[in-house]
Amino acid sequence: MVHHDINTTLQRDIMISNRGFFICRGFKRPVLPLRIFRCQIVVSSSTSSLSKSFKMASWLTIPSKSHFSLANIPFGIISTSAEPTHRPAIAIGQHVLDLSVFAQNNGFSKLADFPSDQLKVFSQTTLNDFAGLGRPVHRATRAYLQDVFRQETPYPEILKNNESLRKQALIPIEDVQSHLPLSIGDYTDFFAGRNHAHTVGTLFRGAANALQPNYNHLPVAYHGRASSVVVSGTPLHRPWGQVLPNPQAKEPVFQPCARLDIELELGMFISKGNKLGAPVDVNNAEEHIFGYVLMNDWSARDIQQWEYVPLGPFNAKNFGTTISPWVVLADALEGFRGRGLENEVPPKKYLDEKREDSILDINLEVSITTAKGNRTKITQVSSQNLLWSWPQMIAHHSVSGCNLRTGDLLGSGTISGLEPGTQGSLLEQTMGGKQFVKLEGGEERKFIQDGDSITITGWSGTAEDSLVGFGECEGTIIAAVPRD
140 and 147 in contact (C-beta within 8 Å)?
no
Instruction: State how far the Cα of 295 lies from the Cα of 299, in Å rounded to an integer.
Output: 12
236 and 476 in contact (C-beta within 8 Å)?
yes
Give, for 428, the enclosing helix (H) or strand (E): helix 426-429
Instruction: State how far the Cα of 77 lies from the Cα of 89, in Å rounded to an integer.
Output: 6
**Would you say 265 is a known binding-site residue?**
yes
**Would you say 308 is a known binding-site residue?**
yes
Instruction: State how far the Cα of 471 lies from the Cα of 474, in Å rounded to an integer.
Output: 10
Instruction: State how far the Cα of 228 lies from the Cα of 224, in Å rounded to an integer.
Output: 9
**Would you say 263 is a known binding-site residue?**
yes
Q: Dump the DSSP string for 121-163.
A: GGGSSSSHHHHTT-HHHHHHHHHHHHHHHBTT-S-TTTTTT-H
90 and 173 in contact (C-beta within 8 Å)?
no
Please tell me whether residue 13 adopts helix, strand or coil conformation: helix
Cβ neighbourhood burial of 481 (10 Å; 0-12, 13-18, 19+) = exposed
Residues in the chain: 484
**Would you say 191 is a known binding-site residue?**
yes
Give the C-alpha distances (Å, rounded to integers) separating 125 from 87, 109, 134: 5, 22, 18
- Which among 95, 196, 396, 397 is annotated as catalytic? 196
475 and 296 in contact (C-beta within 8 Å)?
yes
**Would you say 98 is a known binding-site residue?**
no
**Would you say 414 is a known binding-site residue?**
yes
Please tell me whether residue 178 adopts helix, strand or coil conformation: strand
**Would you say 65 is a known binding-site residue?**
no
User: Does 223 qualify as catalytic in the annotation?
Assistant: no
224 and 411 in contact (C-beta within 8 Å)?
yes
**DSSP strand E in 396-439: where?**
409-411, 437-438
Q: Dump the DSSP string for 82-121.
A: S--S-EEEEEETTEEEEHHHHHHTTTTTT-TTS-GGGGGG
The set of residues, in sequence order, having a beta carbon less than 8 Å from that of 16 and lying 6+ positions away, is 22, 23, 334
Instruction: Read off the DSSP letter of residue 327.
Output: B
**Would you say 317 is a known binding-site residue?**
yes
**Would you say 302 is a known binding-site residue?**
no
Instruction: State how far the Cα of 400 lies from the Cα of 373, in Å rounded to an integer.
Output: 49
Q: Distance from first CA to last CA of the chain, Å, rounded? A: 81
Cβ count near 199 (within 10 Å): 24
Residues making up the binding site for Mg(2+): 297, 317, 321
Residues making up the binding site for substrate: 191, 205, 304, 308, 414
**Which amino acids are annotated catalytic?**
196
Residues making up the binding site for Ca(2+): 189, 263, 265, 297
Residues making up the binding site: 189, 191, 205, 263, 265, 297, 304, 308, 317, 321, 414
